[in-house]
Amino acid sequence: MSTESEQGTIRISILSQTLKTAKGALSLLVISVNTIVLATLLFILAIVKFLAPTDSSRNAMRHVLTALAEAWISVNNSLFSLYRRPAWDIRIPGKLDRKGTYLVSCNHQSWVDILVMQYCFNRRLPFFRFFIKSQLIWVPFLGVAWWALDMPFMRRHSREKLARQPSLKGRDLDNARKACEKLRTIPVAMTNFPEGTRFSAAKRDRQKSPYRYLLQPRIGGLGQVLYALGDQLDALIDVTIVYPHTRTGGRAPTFWQLLTGEIPDIIVRAECREIPPGLLGRNFRTDPAFRSGLEAWVNGLWREKDELIAETLRTWNRSENAQDQGDPHPEQQDTDQGLNPGHRDLVQKPFSDQHSAKSRQRARNHQRPG
């Protein structure tokens, strides 16, 4: 027979779970309404953009559509900022240019990664854009929204078709360059997850990956952006996301866990890196020497990222142990960058200001008609 104490514990547990479910349901409702309103506006304005008679009016609509998407992200971010959990520990470069052109690379563990990146970089970087398969333009509502937001659509060929028509090999790079043509007149942050799939220990072991916390990177997505945008790129934003409780035995966090506040900690580190000039605008499909150089560069980034995750986890474990022993938490520097002031945020200086001149020139070009 259960004791009175055990019954009380059960009641508290049920109440806690009920409150979490209610919070998650309310958050999902807010995000759903926000998404429906945005999608409706995007659909209407996409028609206006399609019918725009001149390049200048079409560019004006691009700015309006991007502002709408950023507003949608801001509403979502405001919702997450109301939560006591997760505890955010964010260190990002301090002088990012919203009118620049960036290649963004990140490790990949969960669908939550995209929301985390939006939380950290919305209105600090240009709006994130991804390569999307051309067939997805026919997805109801979303296809139109992606087109309206200038997502570059890519036509990819199957292995079977490439085997039948070898002449199609390498066409993906030409397709990428054509898809990115419209991005040459607007600020952009082309985003890529080089692992190509979400990390898991089982996948790492099947790949025989040389990294502890990462899968082997693929150079295709990065190579496409480097080829398509070439010397227009200002820098690489190298992002690393760590969910410490996941790395100590749990599963990758889910969207529902983010909504219910069940992700205890999220750690984000980002570094602004100069892209070696020799990697810009070259075809890694047809140039074996260049492909080797690109692979060496990406693998070097991945080795540093793997060690960064290891060091981040060591620091986090020391902090957790210190709190368990009653020691005060080490002081962290707060920022005025618009993140929740209760979070542990640190804005770093960029690697240099070499990309600023290019960005300023592009900003002047953006203001010109056409």
pLDDT for 342 = 39
3-class secondary structure per residue, 14-46:
HHHHHHHHHHHHHHHHHHHHHHHHHHHHHHHHH
Q: Which of 51, 58, 52, 67 is nearest to 369 (CA)?
A: 58
d(CA 309, CA 305): 6
State the residue for tokens 């200048």: 56
**Cβ(56)–Cβ(367) below 8 Å:** no
Residue 66 within any structural domain of the chain: no
Instruction: Provide CB contacts within 8 A for 283, sequence distance 6+.
Output: 170, 173, 227, 290
pLDDT of 182 strictly over 70:
yes
Q: Is 102 exposed, middle or buried (0-12, 13-18, 19+ CB in 10 A)?
A: buried
**pLDDT band, very low/low/confident/very high, at 320 (cuts 50, 70, 90):** confident
Report pLDDT digits (tens) over 21-65.
Answer: 887 788 889 888 888 888 888 888 888 888 888 888 888 888 899
Most confident of 232-236, 257-261, 315-319: 232-236
Cis amide bond preceding 244, omega within 30: no
Residue 263 within any structural domain of the chain: yes
pLDDT of 363 strictly over 80:
no
Residue 305 token pair:
């990222």
Report pLDDT digits (tens) over 245-285.
Answer: 876 556 788 888 888 888 889 999 999 999 999 999 888 88
pLDDT for 19 = 75
Strand partners, 344: 89
| Cα separation of the two ends of the chain | 79
d(CA 248, CA 58): 49
Residue 345 within any structural domain of the chain: yes
d(CA 38, CA 50): 18
Residue 129 within any structural domain of the chain: yes
Report CA 304 to chain centroid distance, whole Å.
19
Number of Cβ within a 10 Å radius of residue 157: 15
pLDDT for 4 = 66
Number of Cβ within a 10 Å radius of residue 95: 13
Q: Which of 274, 279, 194, 295 is nearest to 240 (CA)?
A: 194
- Residues 325-338 as b/e (b if ≥16 CB within 10 A, e otherwise) read eeeeeeeeeebeee
pLDDT of 361 strictly over 90:
no
Structural domain count, the chain:
1
Domain limits for position 347: 85-133+152-367
Report phi then psi at 341, rounded to 5. -65, -15
3-state secondary structure (DSSP) of residue 78: helix
Mark residue 230 as left, alpha or beta (left: phi above 0; alpha: psi -120 to 50; beta: remaining): left
Residue 243 token pair:
């969910």
Residue 57 within any structural domain of the chain: no
Q: ∠ CA(133), CA(135), CA(140), 5° rounding?
A: 110
Residue 228 within any structural domain of the chain: yes
Q: Which of 238, 352, 250, 252 is nearest to 306 (CA)?
A: 238
pLDDT for 366 = 46
Number of alpha carbons in the 13 Å side-chain half-sphere of residue 296: 9
State the residue for tokens 């051309």: 134
pLDDT for 136 = 79
d(CA 66, CA 84): 30
Higher pLDDT, 369 or 255: 255
d(CA 27, CA 24): 5
Residue 3 within any structural domain of the chain: no
pLDDT of 307 strictly over 50:
yes
pLDDT for 170 = 56
Residue 39 within any structural domain of the chain: no
Query: What percentage of the chain reaches a pLDDT higher than 90?
Result: 35
Report pLDDT digits (tens) over 116-163.
Answer: 999 999 999 999 998 887 777 787 777 888 888 888 877 665 566 656
Higher pLDDT, 307 or 132: 307
| DSSP state at residue 368 | S
Report pLDDT digits (tens) over 74-127.
Answer: 999 988 887 777 889 999 998 899 999 999 999 999 989 999 999 999 999 999
Task: Provide the mean pLDDT of the chain.
Answer: 80
pLDDT for 161 = 61
pLDDT for 193 = 94
